[in-house]
């Protein structure tokens, strides 16, 4: 702040801005809340006066005075024995809740089973009955998520997507990785380690695997890298729909027996630790293994050299920013960008100690 420049108070601030701009208080209020009905010339004039006066509205006082509350619903997968990935976005949601609860915001969290599309349908229908003001959603099942968000569009319920996006939907925004480029980068890292014309295996470990939106986008990016650079590796694929370890081990053992020349394995989700566990007990030599997410099990295998690289997309920050974007829309009246991409972080045993999810 420049010397001698004082912040004007909330009570007379709007009146002073209106007086200087020669407009009504209602016009100033529209500009402060990004509402329509003000010409660009007038809006620019008011914003210049706001900047000149160093006017900062007391948002908390306004919220307390209005007595209006907002309810945000969060729909994400529950943490399971197979993966604790969703503990990180939930942590981010709770962190955001603590930051904004005094502004009249209530957050209700609902969970679905990542292995059961029916649980997604049931929870989404339940949320619609509750009529929340806004929704934070992880659209793991693409068809069901499209149906859900289409209803939200018709009912004018704003929603924010995290982890994976839904093309051509009318939500507030998407916060998460560029999945195609994430897969593309993973392919580049794999290619650095391989001799020419090696066999590469993509292992998808997920029930309802055909409909997992994010898996396909990552795989498309992975394959695109090799196609773009005319690299003639033989890319094989194994889909494992039974996600308990004994089933994963059996499927991998049978496949690797038929394809002993596999030199790299790419797992496009957080269950890469299951593949690492299999490789630890197999008689094969070192196979380059790359997968996703900064989870306790994955880190243990990373430290021991069984997982070579983990790709991470800041899931905790996705949860936090998702709630904050709803807050910015409803409370601050801000106009949001449609897409906020998360970084694509490369984690190895040399740098994992310095990383925060």
Domain boundaries, the chain: 10-57, 65-177+315-342, 179-312
Sign of CA dihedral 271, 219, 203, 289: negative
Q: Is the pLDDT of residue 2 over 50?
A: no
pLDDT of residue 18: 86
pLDDT of residue 74: 98
**CA atoms lying within 13 Å on the CB side of residue 189:** 22
Read off the pTM.
0.82
Q: pLDDT band at 3, cuts 50/70/90?
A: very low
Greater pLDDT, 57 or 124: 124
What is the tens place of the pLDDT at every residue in 215-239? 889 999 999 999 999 988 899 999 9
Q: pLDDT band at 209, cuts 50/70/90?
A: low
pLDDT of residue 183: 98
Q: pLDDT band at 64, cuts 50/70/90?
A: low
Q: pLDDT band at 211, cuts 50/70/90?
A: low
Specify the DSSP class assigned to residue 159.
Answer: E
Greater pLDDT, 283 or 124: 124
Sign of CA dihedral 357, 190, 185, 202: negative
10-57 with 179-312: one CATH topology?
no
Mean pLDDT for the chain overall: 89
**Overall CATH class of domain 179-312:** alpha beta
What is the tens place of the pLDDT at every residue in 274-317? 999 999 998 778 899 999 999 999 999 999 999 999 999 999 99
Q: Is the pLDDT of residue 147 over 50?
A: yes
pLDDT of residue 5: 45
User: Residues of 129-157 as b/e, b for ≥16 C-beta within 10 angstroms?
Assistant: eeebbbbbbbbbbbebbbebbeebeeeeb
Q: Is the pLDDT of residue 250 over 70?
A: yes
Percent with pLDDT over 90 in the chain: 66
pLDDT of residue 206: 87
pLDDT of residue 212: 54
User: In CATH, which of 3.40.47.10, 3.40.50.300, 3.30.230.10, 1.10.260.40 is domain 10-57?
Assistant: 1.10.260.40
Q: pLDDT band at 65, cuts 50/70/90?
A: low
pLDDT of residue 7: 47
Greater pLDDT, 87 or 198: 87
**CA atoms lying within 13 Å on the CB side of residue 274:** 25
Q: Is the pLDDT of residue 90 over 60?
A: yes
> Which residues, at least 6 apart from 281, have a Cβ–Cβ distance to it below 8 Å?
249
Q: Is the pLDDT of residue 70 over 80?
A: yes
Question: Could you tell me the fold of the domain covering 65-177+315-342?
Answer: Rossmann fold (3.40.50)
pLDDT of residue 207: 81
Q: Is the pLDDT of residue 134 over 70?
A: yes
Q: pLDDT band at 8, cuts 50/70/90?
A: very low
Greater pLDDT, 168 or 107: 107
Q: Is the pLDDT of residue 60 over 70?
A: no
Q: Is the pLDDT of residue 1 over 90?
A: no
């Amino acid at each position: 702040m420049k010397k001698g420049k004082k912040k004007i108070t909330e009570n007379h601030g709007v009146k002073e801005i209106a007086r200087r701009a020669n407009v009504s208080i209602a016009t100033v209020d529209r500009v402060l809340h990004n509402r329509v009905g003000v010409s660009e010339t007038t809006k620019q004039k008011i914003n210049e006066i706001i900047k000149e006066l160093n006017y900062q509205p007391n948002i908390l006082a306004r919220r307390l005075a209005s007595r209006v509350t907002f309810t945000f619903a969060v729909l994400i997968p529950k943490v399971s024995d197979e993966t604790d990935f969703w503990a990180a976005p939930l942590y981010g949601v709770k962190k955001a809740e603590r930051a904004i609860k005094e502004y009249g915001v209530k957050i209700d969290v609902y969970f679905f089973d990542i292995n059961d599309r029916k649980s997604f349908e049931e929870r989404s229908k339940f949320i619609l009955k509750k009529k929340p003001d806004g929704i934070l959603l992880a659209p793991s099942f693409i068809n069901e998520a499209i149906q859900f968000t289409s209803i939200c569009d018709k009912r004018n319920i704003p929603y924010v997507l995290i982890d994976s996006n839904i093309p051509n939907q009318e939500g507030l925004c998407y916060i998460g990785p560029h999945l195609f480029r994430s897969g593309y980068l993973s392919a580049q890292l794999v290619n650095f380690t391989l001799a020419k014309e090696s066999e590469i295996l993509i292992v998808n470990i997920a029930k309802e695997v055909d409909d997992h939106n994010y898996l396909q986008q990552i795989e498309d990016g992975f394959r695109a890298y090799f196609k773009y650079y005319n690299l003639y590796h033989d890319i094989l694929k194994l889909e494992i729909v039974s996600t308990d370890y004994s089933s994963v081990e059996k499927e991998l053992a049978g496949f690797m027996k038929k394809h002993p020349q596999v030199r790299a394995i790419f797992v496009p989700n957080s269950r890469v630790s299951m593949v690492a566990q299999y490789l630890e007990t197999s008689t094969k030599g070192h196979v380059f293994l790359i997968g996703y997410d900064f989870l306790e099990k994955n880190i243990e295998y990373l430290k021991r050299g069984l997982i070579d690289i983990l790709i991470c997309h800041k899931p905790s920050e996705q949860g936090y920013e998702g709630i904050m974007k709803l807050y910015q829309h409803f409370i601050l009246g801000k106009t949001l960008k449609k897409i906020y991409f998360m970084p694509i972080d490369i984690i190895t045993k040399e740098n994992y100690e310095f990383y925060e999810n």
